[in-house]
């Protein structure tokens, strides 16, 4: 199936050109997070949409296909409008899109994107594109926001007990098999990597290099075992499976991970890794990462760390916390922000540095989010009727949280204090602030792009 932008919408959208007030010449809409789980959002996701969808023209064939689909589907079709865009704009959308720079962390309840028509005859296009634009923005932004929030948790633990330089590799993306599609793996995997540099989600790698103009490899991984490479040796051959991992991957400066709960994680740690194989682990000179994969995460991790300490020993760092010799632990089962907090608290309260642990997060990272996690919405806030501007808003008495903003909007940052504020366009000239929104698209042309290095740098900026 070839992509048809006219069909990338909701069923009720094609009828909306008949519903707006007569004389409508322009429409202005905005996207915001109306609150949600996190107090701020790390904005991303718009650039891939601009490069792969909105900068590609539709054709007469697409119009004919859409006309047939909507006729059979029971919806009216604005053939005249679509052919006008085809003939006058070459099949590219006559809209202007402004957005905050990708990677920027902005408190909720602020405008992140604005969309308005650039042709008096095409005001209806703004609402028509809502489905496509909002989907791109909410998903990547929400994944990036959750990842960013977890980053702050781990960062605080490292600053208190260990070496913050290890932060980029403390949350590894295990989510490729747990998402709904290859495209979700690309999008969500890329969003996570704004904050970290460890991933097993290969589809995100080339996606980032192409969509965010970087030749550098954005993330890294290590050789790691799974149960299907351990259990074929049989329970009686468990030690041979582990010995093979040492033989294949342990060398000076290497890191290798071995899942070790196929039978008895505690026996594996204490008697196999810490007994039969101890001298081989040390002699191999690589860093062994033991992976528990079942049980209550905080309980299992703490006991494993204590057993490793008993067998391999540890050193006390300058902050007064123990760092294991030769071995680390990665927990990849049952990982979410809450379990990460519990694991870190268990380790720290028992005198162990956060240096000893890394986390692998799967479906909870890339899939356990939805549009309501951060209450994303795109709403019309201003309309031009016969040359006169009118504020547009909703204010339902049954849910004040869905009250929408009014007017032509800007996002600004105060020169004193760096506070983000959404304000009406006409108030902008009266206030000593910096404009944050950047025009990134106009009439089919992408005007502004960001490298992945710049996106990552933006995510590190302090927000008020």
Q: What is the pLDDT of residues 183-225, one digit of tens each?
A: 999 999 999 999 999 999 999 999 999 999 999 999 999 999 9
Q: Which two tokens stand for residue 217?
A: 């490899």
Q: Which CATH class is domain 5-141+374-453?
A: alpha beta
Q: Please, are residues 172 and 257 in contact by the beta-carbon 8 Å criterion?
A: no
- CA-closest candidate to residue 101, choices 433, 425, 463: 463
Residue 161 has pLDDT above 60, yes or no: yes
CA distance 420 to 418: 7
Enumerate helices (H) and strands (E) in the chain, giving the number of each: 15, 19
Q: Which CATH number fits domain 155-366: 3.20.20.70, 3.40.50.170, 3.40.50.720, 3.40.50.2300?
A: 3.20.20.70
Q: What phi and psi, each to the nearest 5 degrees, are found at residue 325?
A: -85, 135
- CA-closest candidate to residue 6, choices 65, 50, 52: 65
Q: Which two tokens stand for residue 265?
A: 């994680």
pLDDT of residue 416: 75
Which residues are bridge partners to 287 per DSSP? 255
pLDDT of residue 463: 62
CA distance 194 to 457: 9
Q: Please, are residues 125 and 358 in contact by the beta-carbon 8 Å criterion?
A: no
Q: Which two tokens stand for residue 357?
A: 């642990």
Helices 182-192 and 203-211: crossing angle, nearest 10°?
70
CA distance 208 to 194: 10
Which residues are bridge partners to 42 per DSSP? 105
CA distance 193 to 145: 11
Average pLDDT over residues 435-447: 97
CA distance 107 to 22: 37
CA distance 24 to 117: 11
The answer to whether 5-141+374-453 and 155-366 have equal CATH topology is no
Report pTM.
Answer: 0.96
Average pLDDT over residues 367-376: 97
Q: What phi and psi, each to the nearest 5 degrees, are found at residue 304?
A: -60, -45
CA distance 78 to 64: 11
Average pLDDT over residues 18-23: 95
Confidence of residue 414 (pLDDT cuts 50, 70, 90): confident
Beta strands 287-291 and 255-259: pairing type?
A: parallel
Beta strands 433-435 and 40-42: pairing type?
A: unpaired
Residue 356 has pLDDT above 80, yes or no: yes
Beta strands 40-42 and 420-424: pairing type?
A: unpaired
Confidence of residue 298 (pLDDT cuts 50, 70, 90): very high
CA distance 48 to 39: 25
Which residues are bridge partners to 324 per DSSP? 314
Confidence of residue 428 (pLDDT cuts 50, 70, 90): confident
Average pLDDT over residues 232-242: 98
Q: Please, are residues 433 and 412 in contact by the beta-carbon 8 Å criterion?
A: yes
CA distance 301 to 283: 25
Residue 464 has pLDDT above 60, yes or no: no
- Mention every residue, 6+ apart, whose C-beta is less than 8 A from residue 395: 403, 404
3-state helix, strand, coil in the chain (%, to 5): 45, 20, 35
pLDDT of residue 427: 86
Buried-state track 177-195, b at ≥16 Cβ within 10 A, e below 16: ebbeeeebbbbbbbbbbbb
Residue spans per domain, the chain = 5-141+374-453, 155-366
pLDDT of residue 432: 67
The string of DSSP letters for 410-457 reads EEEEETTT--EEEEEGGGGGGS-EEE--EEEEETTEE-----HHHHHH
CA distance 287 to 255: 5
Q: Which two tokens stand for residue 161?
A: 């007990």
Cβ atoms within 10 Å of 13's Cβ, excluding its own: 19
Residue 431 has pLDDT above 80, yes or no: no
């Amino acid at each position: 199936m070839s992509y048809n932008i006219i069909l990338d919408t909701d069923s009720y959208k094609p009828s909306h050109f008949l519903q707006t007030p007569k004389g409508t010449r322009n429409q202005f809409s905005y996207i915001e997070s109306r609150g949600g789980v996190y107090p701020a959002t790390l904005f991303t996701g718009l650039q891939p949409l601009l490069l792969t969808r909105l900068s590609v023209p539709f054709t007469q064939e697409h119009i004919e296909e859409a006309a047939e689909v909507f006729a059979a589907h029971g919806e009216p079709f604005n053939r005249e409008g679509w052919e006008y865009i085809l003939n006058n704009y070459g099949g590219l959308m006559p809209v202007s899109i402004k957005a905050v720079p990708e990677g920027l962390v902005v408190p909720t309840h602020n405008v992140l994107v604005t969309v308005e028509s650039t042709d008096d005859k095409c005001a209806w296009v703004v609402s028509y594109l809502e489905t496509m634009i909002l989907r791109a923005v909410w998903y990547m932004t929400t994944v990036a926001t959750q990842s960013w929030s977890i980053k702050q948790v781990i960062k605080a633990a490292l600053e208190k007990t260990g070496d913050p330089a290890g932060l980029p590799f403390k949350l590894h993306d295990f989510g490729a098999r747990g998402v709904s599609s290859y495209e979700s793996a690309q999008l969500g995997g890329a969003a996570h990597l704004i904050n970290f540099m460890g991933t097993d989600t290969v589809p995100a790698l080339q996606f980032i290099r192409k969509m965010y103009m970087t030749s550098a490899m954005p993330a890294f991984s290590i050789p790691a075992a799974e149960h299907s490479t351990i259990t074929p040796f049989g329970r009686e051959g468990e030690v041979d499976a582990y010995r093979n991992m040492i033989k294949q991957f342990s060398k000076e400066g290497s890191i290798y991970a071995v899942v070790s709960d196929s039978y008895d994680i505690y026996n594996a740690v204490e008697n196999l890794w810490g007994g039969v194989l101890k001298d081989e682990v040390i002699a191999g000179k690589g860093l062994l990462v033991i992976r528990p994969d079942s049980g209550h995460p905080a309980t299992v991790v703490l006991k494993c760390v204590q057993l490793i300490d008993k067998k391999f020993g540890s050193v006390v760092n300058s902050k007064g916390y123990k760092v294991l010799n030769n071995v680390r632990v990665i927990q990849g089962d049952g990982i979410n922000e809450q379990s990460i907090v519990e694991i870190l608290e268990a380790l720290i309260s028992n005198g162990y540095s956060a240096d000893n642990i890394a986390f692998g997060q799967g479906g909870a990272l890339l899939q356990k989010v939805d549009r309501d996690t951060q209450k994303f919405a795109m709403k019309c806030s201003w309309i031009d009727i016969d040359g006169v501007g009118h504020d547009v808003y909703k204010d339902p008495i049954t849910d004040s949280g869905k009250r929408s903003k009014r007017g032509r909007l800007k996002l600004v940052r105060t020169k004193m204090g760096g506070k983000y504020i959404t304000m009406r366009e006409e108030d902008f000239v009266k206030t000593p602030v910096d404009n944050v929104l950047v025009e990134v698209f106009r009439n089919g042309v992408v005007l502004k792009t960001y490298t992945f290095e710049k996106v990552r740098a933006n995510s590190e900026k302090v927000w008020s």
